[in-house]
Amino acid sequence: MDMRDWLSLADRPALVAGAGGLGGASAVSLAAQGAAVAVVDVDRARLDAVARAAKEAGGCVRTIVADLRSADRCRDAVAEAVREVGTPQVFLHAVGRNVRRPVLDLDDGDWASIVELNLSTAFWLGQAVGRRMVDAGYGRMVFVSSVSGLLAHADHAPYAATKGGLNQLVRVMAREWAAHDVTVNAVAPGYIETDLTADYLDRDGNRRALESLVPARRLGVPEEVADAVTFLASDRARFITGQVLYVDGGRVLV
């Protein structure tokens, strides 16, 4: 069986926000399945790396450099993506960061910056793309959440709050747009090996400690998250909406 046919992504316009580890891997996966992908990120080097990887995988992505930390910039980025690849039929939000500090050590700037990047951009981009998908009567939206949206990890307060909020945003969008054939889901990774986590994992025995919390006894890789994203972006998942899919090796089970 031709996997491209099975997933039905050939020539579908797709917008991916975030060219980091999970967003980049997902953009490559979508492009390899034939989607016409536009990727938005503030970092030109990350975008270029994704473009090269997509080409090596037999696909192609268009890149857009943009700082998404305002409603107007998000809307402008969506409009530019429409000009580049067409009205998105697939959308992935993979923008976010974490600050690992106890609640009592966080300042107002920590809270505000993480809420803006992790949650507000999800709303601004999701609303802009969702409006176009609802008008078109079709869409597949996926947001990158985290096991932290469910589990109470110490030193993760703003991050966990934004991911819990994101899960509820996904559910409400899914409820409002289901009648328009627009599905809205989230993938919630556990501990994943990425460039952004490498420094933390390699310090102070953190890798071994985290592996011990995962029933699968290993950390995940970006491609495993990208596979879940690609499935939810396809019509094989057309009756799945408002769900949070944990890609975590069983982390939330313990």
Return the active site residues.
Answer: 159
Rounded CA separation 45/158 (Å): 28
Q: What angle (nearest 5°) sits at the alpha carbon of residue 65, between those of residues 59 and 66? A: 130
Cβ contact 35:12 at 8 Å = yes
Rounded CA separation 242/172 (Å): 8
Q: Which of 131, 161, 134, 125 is nearest to 146 (CA)?
A: 161
Give the DSSP letter string of 57-94. TT--EEEEE----SHHHHHHHHHHHHHHH-S-SEEEE-
User: What SS3 string covers 122-166?
Assistant: HHHHHHHHHHHHHHHCCEEEEEECCHHHCCCCCCCHHHHHHHHHH
Q: What angle (nearest 5°) sits at the alpha carbon of residue 187, between those of residues 183 and 189? A: 180
Phi, psi of 65 (to 5 degrees): -90, 120
Phi, psi of 234 (to 5 degrees): -95, 165
